[in-house]
């Protein structure tokens, strides 16, 4: 058998392996750097997109907050207008009430009674008067109870004074000033009980 020196071939083979290893190492390093750079750009781009979305959401939230504030202001203005409308409606209703009050006062007063004073405090009337007898006061209270604009009469003060054969009764009656529709509803509720 012939002797062949394989040593240069092994060295050449080892050098080829080292070159392939170094080449694959460099190639892996380049691929790794490319992946890292690409990943950095992707993460940076994703962060930039998310920051843009966040800025857009903050802008939209600011606009919504402004709209909510405007809605609250409009609700306050609406409530103010509704209060004003209620006051105006109440004034409109009470405008004719004074005429009806004086009309009812003249209709309810019997011949033996005359009135000396009238005070209104939040729809409660305090009526002062003088009657020739307690029966006149009783008749007056019955007339108030049957009046469509007056109701719930309450006799608070009665003083009878006699001067010889003549006697007179000074009285104070409190009553409520009501709308006829309120009295009808109250009568319907009271009649059903």
Q: Is the pLDDT of residue 29 over 90?
A: yes
Q: Which of 44-48, 120-124, 180-184 has the highest mean pLDDT?
A: 44-48
The pTM of the full predicted model, rounded to 2 decimals, is 0.49
Q: CA 131 from chain center: how many Å? A: 52
Nearest Cα neighbor of 104 from 173, 172, 177, 154 is: 177
- Round the CA-based radius of gyration of the chain to a whole number and report it: 51
User: Which residues make beta-bridge pairs with 167?
Assistant: 162
Asked if residue 146 lies in contact with residue 178, where contact means CB atoms within 8 angstroms, the answer is no
Instruction: Tell me the per-residue pLDDT of 49-102, one tens digit each, with 9 for 90 and over.
Output: 999 999 999 999 999 999 999 999 999 999 999 999 999 888 887 777 778 888
Which pLDDT does position 184 carry in this prediction? 53
- The range of the structural domain enclosing residue 120 comes to 88-180
Q: Is residue 108 part of a domain?
A: yes
- How many domains does one find in the chain? 1
pLDDT digits (tens, 9 = 90+) for 8-26: 778 888 899 999 999 999 9
Cα separation, 66 vs 192, in Å, equals 54
Q: Would residue 129 count as lying in a domain? A: yes
Residue pair 160/169 in contact (Cβ under 8 Å)? The answer is yes
- The pLDDT value given to residue 191: 46
* CATH code assigned at 158: 3.30.1360.100
Sequence-ordered list of residues with C-beta below 8 angstroms from that of 107, at least 6 positions apart, any chain: 143, 147
Q: Would 60 be classed as within a structural domain?
A: no
* 188 in a structural domain: no
From CA 73, how far away is CA 170, in angstroms rounded? 57
CA distances 1 to 4, 116, Å, are 9, 159
């Amino acid at each position: 058998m012939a002797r062949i020196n394989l040593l240069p071939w092994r060295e050449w083979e080892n050098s080829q392996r080292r070159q392939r290893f170094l080449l694959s190492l460099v190639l892996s390093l380049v691929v790794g750097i490319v992946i890292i750079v690409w990943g950095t750009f992707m993460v940076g781009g994703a962060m930039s997109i998310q920051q843009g979305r966040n800025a857009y959401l903050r802008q939209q939230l600011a606009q919504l907050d402004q709209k909510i504030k405007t809605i609250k202001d409009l609700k306050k203005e609406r409530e103010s207008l509704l209060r004003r409308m209620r006051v105006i409606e109440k004034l409109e209703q009470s405008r004719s009430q004074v005429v009806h009050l004086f009309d009812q006062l003249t209709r309810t007063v019997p011949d033996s009674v005359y009135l000396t004073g009238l005070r209104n405090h939040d729809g409660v009337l305090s009526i002062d008067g003088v009657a020739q007898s307690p029966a006149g006061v009783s008749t007056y209270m019955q007339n108030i109870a049957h009046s469509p604009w007056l109701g719930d009469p309450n006799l608070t003060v009665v003083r009878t004074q006699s001067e010889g054969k003549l006697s007179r009764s000074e009285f104070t009656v409190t009553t409520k000033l009501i709308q006829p529709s309120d009295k009808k509803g109250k009568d319907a509720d009271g009649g059903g009980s």
